[in-house]
Structure 1
Amino acid sequence: MNRNDCNLRSHLGRIHNMVEVMYTSQRQQRATRSNQIKPEKKREFHEAAIECIIRDGRPFGDFHRPGMSKFLNVICPGYRGPTRKTVRRRLGVEYHEYRQQLRTTLARVEAIAITVDIWTKNKTSFICLTGHAFNRIYESIPIVLGFRQFNGSHRSKKIKKYILYELKQLEIENKICAIVSDNGRDIKKATNDIKPGQRISCIAHNINLVVQNGLGLWEKSTKK
């Protein structure tokens, strides 16, 4: 590259669009710069990608995989999807914002009933705590109070500890008027011990048991 005319060629290419007189390295730099996305547009794309991950239950690094990266570069040259670290950081921010909004909402509620449920899928257990309340104009307010992976055996002490922890964090431990759960031994014992709040057996679960027992759906075959 002749340094004497390097600036001149760059000027002709950038200002007068005479790309043919530019050196190869200058044309490559120009192409790279032209593919750069404005910061506000990149944030918009990232927000859409992260929302997609949340709604569809996709892996955090899905938009940074080779195939997806190639696809994104075709439809929007220069854009690379959010990394796993970016998604995790953003979800952390949104989680804390949600919890703060939740505390503000619950501060205006005089009484709340909660529902506790535990289920297992692919040998992994989860526990969910939901709240049900009314505002001052008697509109129903269904709220997800907590959702966690539940490790180990489903002992009543562990279940009770988790419920009390969430209630204390949200400052509603003295506002509980009822606790609804199924009839599992451990969850029943855990919710019976939590005061205030009367434990109520889940009606839908009871009806399901009546129907299945009535139809003999749980009877095991004695044939060998």
Structure 2
Amino acid sequence: MFNEALINSLPINKSKSVDKAILAAVVKDGRSFGDFNRLGIRQLIATVVGTGYRIPSRFQIRRKLKYLYQVERQKLKDLLENVNYISLASGIWSNNRYASKILNELSKLKTETKSFSITTDGTKNMCKILKNISGIMTGIMTVYCIAHGLHLTICNGLRLWSNKKADSNSVSNITETFLRIHESSEELGLSDNHDNMNKNDIDDLVTLVDEKRVMNSITAVMEKCRKL
């Protein structure tokens, strides 16, 4: 059985090195702060490092992680000071609380005036949260992810979605918008003037019913993506 009395001391440089490795494991593997004080892991560490190493308690790990967080956050702030423009990417549930959280973090990092675009998956929840953010931060450009649009187009075209009316309508809207923006006017018989698109235009988009036509449209979109 593991004998805790064997834990004496370890050279300070070696001890610090093991401490850093434990912190890295907690961060990278999402381990709980008390994992390394479990009997099995203590035995493993004693076998590998030696019985002279004293494993930090969960309270010591929490304190060290808090300090590490402050150090890394300051590094990020210093890095962003020399950046003129920042593009963000987000995919979270729509909620005023999340919008406030994003704005608060941008303010803390002093980047609210440097942010000029946000890339999203184009779903209704993200459109809602972007509306909340744009009401406070003006000049933010919305960019819809081509990969997400292509994924939805393919899934919808191959009928991979469930038969729920709400889901079907939501996916169809995103798919049609994506096709309207990224396919050529010859393929859908629509105008090239995308700058004048409005809500009525989107609502009146052509619904692709014929499976062959859908597959042709998917192929055309994939060709477009290859050329980007």
Are the counterparts in 2 of residues 72 and 80 from structure 1 also a CA contact under 8 Å?
A: no
The worse-fitting range, judged by mean Cα deviation, of 195-204 and 206-215 is: 195-204
Question: Which of the pair has the greater relative contact order for Cα pairs under 8 Å at 6+ separation?
Answer: 2
Pick closer, same or farther for the CA change 1:38–1:189 going to 2, 3 Å: same
Q: How does 1:195-210 map to 2 (within 5 A)?
A: 195-210=138-153
- Root mean square deviation, CA, Å: 2.1
Cα deviation for residue 32 of structure 1 reads 5.6
Which of 25, 46, 58 is matched with 2:31 structurally? 58
SS of residue in 1 equivalent to 2:90: strand
Partner of 1:71: 44
Q: Distance in 1 between matches of 2:80 and 2:95?
A: 26
CA deviation string 1:164-219 (max 9, x = no partner) = 11110111111111111122323212213242311111211111110100110003
Which structure would you say has the larger Rg?
Answer: 1
Q: Distance in 2 between matches of 1:68 and 1:77?
A: 13
Are the counterparts in 1 of residues 94 and 128 from structure 2 also a CA contact under 8 Å?
A: no
Q: Distance in 1 between matches of 2:70 and 2:121?
A: 30
Percent sequence identity is: 32
The yes-or-no answer on 1:171 pairing with 2:110 is yes
Q: Distance in 1 between matches of 2:69 and 2:56?
A: 18
Q: TM-score, normalised by structure 1?
A: 0.63
Partner of 1:219: 162
Q: Distance in 1 between matches of 2:47 and 2:79?
A: 44
Q: Return the letter of the residue paired with 1:186.
A: N
SS of residue in 1 equivalent to 2:91: strand
CA deviation string 1:121-175 (max 9, x = no partner) = xxxxxxxxxxxxxxxxxxxxxxxxxxxxxxxxx4432222111111101111111
The yes-or-no answer on 1:93 pairing with 2:67 is yes
Q: Distance in 2 between matches of 1:178 and 1:111?
A: 9
Higher strand share: 1
Partner of 1:159: 98
Q: Which runs of 5+ in 2 are unaligned?
A: 165-228
SS of residue in 1 equivalent to 2:42: helix
Pick closer, same or farther for the CA change 1:184–1:40 going to 2, 3 Å: same
CA deviation string 1:46-66 (max 9, x = no partner) = 111211222222222111111
Are the counterparts in 2 of residues 157 and 190 from structure 1 also a CA contact under 8 Å?
A: yes
CA deviation string 1:81-102 (max 9, x = no partner) = 2222122111111111111111
The yes-or-no answer on 1:36 pairing with 2:34 is no
SS of residue in 2 equivalent to 1:40: helix
Are the counterparts in 2 of residues 178 and 198 from structure 1 also a CA contact under 8 Å?
A: yes
Which of 58, 69, 82 is matched with 1:108 structurally? 82
Q: TM-score, normalised by structure 2?
A: 0.62
Q: Distance in 2 between matches of 1:74 and 1:200?
A: 53
Q: Return the letter of the residue paired with 1:108.
A: N
Higher helix share: 2
Are the counterparts in 2 of residues 156 and 187 from structure 1 also a CA contact under 8 Å?
A: no
Q: Return the letter of the residue paired with 2:54.
A: R
Pick closer, same or farther for the CA change 1:155–1:55 going to 2, 3 Å: closer
Are the counterparts in 2 of residues 174 and 196 from structure 1 also a CA contact under 8 Å?
A: no
Q: Which runs of 5+ in 1 are unaligned?
A: 1-30, 119-153
CA deviation string 1:18-50 (max 9, x = no partner) = xxxxxxxxxxxxx969x4212332111111121
